[in-house]
Structure 1
Amino acid sequence: MRTLTPAGPAPIAGPADPTPRRLLLCGVVAGPLFVIAFLAQGALRPHYDPLRHPVSSLALGPGGWVQAVNFVVAGLLTLAFAAGLRRTLRRVWGPALVGSWGAGLIGAGVFTADPVSGYPQGTPDLLSEYGSTHAALHDYLSLAGFAAMAAACLVFGVGFARDRELGWATYSVASGAGFTVAMALATIAFSQNPALVAHGGLFQRVAVTIGWAWLTLLALRLLRRRPAGPRTPAGRPRRPS
């Protein structure tokens, strides 16, 4: 008898209930919307250098509310996607980790970061050794979201491997590794490391793009799956014997 994996893909809930598919669609929209929004803001904002400055700095200064809203909207869409994953896969850890990424985004929007790397113009490269309370909350919630994203890639990768879907297993694990390395480099750069500080924004954008691309493709993959076959009275797909 073949056992079901803890986070790997399973058939969608079926044609009678469109809600899971609508929730999965939120996962298709969230990443591209978030990335397009911060790229557009970075290109239009005076004195903002996308290669140097973090995405979070777009929430500072005039018009900063746009990026704050971008964080919150992307987070809410991701939470909806996580609910769709939970209903579609009937798993716990993978969807919970995706939901934690969404919660981290919302926290990053509610609590703004301190100025860093000289943006907004006229501010010091590093405001202080400890920073403000709202910036500390921003950093802790963001860090929790980053860790959840990396862990989600790994958990889904293990699930795909157990289902012998080696292409998706490799892609998931590689995405988690690339996300982690790029985000670590960004963190070092934002701490004003002389060798990396000029490219902190670039490293962060690479990490964010890797993570969002993986989530978006995962959502598309699940939307393309056919509805489930025969089910047990409890609503779970029958296991092949």
Structure 2
Amino acid sequence: MTTTAPLPHTTAANANATGVRVDTRALLACAAVAGPLWVAVSVAQAATRDGFEPTRHALSQLATGSLGWLQIANFVIAGVLATAGAAGLRRVMRGTPGGVAVPRLVRVIGVGMVAAGLLTMDPADGFPVGTPKGVPESMSWHAYGHMAAGSVTFIALIAAGYLLGRHFSRLGNRRLAVVCRVAATVKLAGDAWAMSGGEAGALTIAIGTSAMFALLAYVAVHYRRSA
């Protein structure tokens, strides 16, 4: 039983069919790179920035301080790549269960990441070095904007994971369907744990986000092989 969706049909008038395939593969490459790039750059900074504690500080907080521009650029570049990748997923998933909703959600994720990068968090809880411990008494407008963009992105990630589970289940690829649902559940559980005030909530959010980004990258590679 097939587990991949066919590419859109080309007509005889469109003689450059190879060009269409290459373009689709390039877009899928963008989707495959976006999440792992964001995670790799974030982890590298988390390991090297003075005062950063992964169990206490969200990866988004790396966008503050003198080196904050690195994480801002990381958000924006990854978001642009994800937005472009959504177009590739729309082509290869057309006509399949979730073939409309999933690419739209990936586009929302990309736009949300760009917004989250441009709207930075406030320094808090000892980071960057010299910032007082604890939560600030007030928040800036851009910190509120970051929280809104992040919430939309997280919801879209979870929804995309579960819809991909249904997508691959209907196509007969039950193993990948289970992987999709597990990744979405890890993200959901990590966010819920953090929102409930659980210990190391920042880390559980990061783990769940990384799991979903890895899943989206794998799905993009999965379809790129057949493009």
TM-score (norm 2): 0.87
For residues 184-216 of structure 1, the C-alpha deviation after alignment (integer angstroms, 9 at most, x for no partner) is: 22344xxxx4x51xx233212211210111011
Structure 1 residues 141 and 81, CA, compared in 2 at 3 Å: closer, same or farther? same
Question: Which residue number in structure 2 is paired with residue 87 of structure 1?
Answer: 91
Structure 2 contact 51–126 (Cα < 8 Å) conserved: no
Structure 1 contact 115–126 (Cα < 8 Å) conserved: no
Structure 1 contact 12–222 (Cα < 8 Å) conserved: no
Structure 1 contact 9–159 (Cα < 8 Å) conserved: no
Give the counterpart of 2:79 among 75, 79, 84: 75
Question: Which residue number in structure 1 is paired with residue 11 of structure 2?
Answer: none
Distance 1:207 1:116 in 2: 22
Question: Which residue number in structure 2 is paired with residue 36 of structure 1?
Answer: 40
SS in 2 for 1:51: coil
For residues 36-79 of structure 1, the C-alpha deviation after alignment (integer angstroms, 9 at most, x for no partner) is: 11111111111111232110110001110100000000000000
Distance 1:187 1:77 in 2: 29
**Percent of pairs with identical residues:** 35
Give the C-alpha shift of residue 9 in structure 1.
4.3
Distance 1:209 1:105 in 2: 14
Structure 1 residues 186 and 118, CA, compared in 2 at 3 Å: closer, same or farther? farther
Distance 1:187 1:101 in 2: 20
Question: Which residue number in structure 1 is paired with residue 183 of structure 2?
Answer: 175
Question: Which residue number in structure 1 is paired with residue 7 of structure 2?
Answer: 12
Most deviating of 84-93 and 9-18: 9-18
Distance 2:166 2:4 in 1: 11
Distance 2:192 2:127 in 1: 21
Letter in 1 for 2:164: F
Give the C-alpha shift of residue 80 in structure 1.
0.7
Matched, 1:139 2:147: yes
Give the counterpart of 2:121 among 95, 113, 118: 113
Following TM superposition, where does structure 1 have runs of at least 4 consecutive aligned residues deviating by more than 4 angstroms? none
Question: Which residue number in structure 2 is paired with residue 239 of structure 1?
Answer: none
For residues 153-197 of structure 1, the C-alpha deviation after alignment (integer angstroms, 9 at most, x for no partner) is: 111111111122111111111111111111222344xxxx4x51x
Give the counterpart of 1:45 among 35, 42, 49: 49
Give the counterpart of 1:102 among 95, 110, 121: 110
Distance 1:60 1:123 in 2: 14
Most deviating of 11-20 and 178-187: 11-20
Structure 1 residues 9 and 147, CA, compared in 2 at 3 Å: closer, same or farther? farther
Distance 2:27 2:142 in 1: 31
Give the C-alpha shift of residue 16 in structure 1.
4.2
Structure 2 contact 62–71 (Cα < 8 Å) conserved: yes
Question: Which residue number in structure 2 is paired with residue 63 of structure 1?
Answer: 67
Structure 1 contact 21–84 (Cα < 8 Å) conserved: yes
Q: Give RMSD over aligned pairs.
A: 2.0
Distance 1:200 1:120 in 2: 19
Question: Which residue number in structure 1 is paired with residue 136 of structure 2?
Answer: 127
More helix per residue: 2
Structure 2 contact 65–123 (Cα < 8 Å) conserved: no
Matched, 1:148 2:156: yes
TM-score (norm 1): 0.82
How many pairs were matched up? 213
Distance 1:166 1:40 in 2: 35
Distance 2:178 2:81 in 1: 26
Distance 1:86 1:123 in 2: 46
Distance 1:158 1:165 in 2: 10
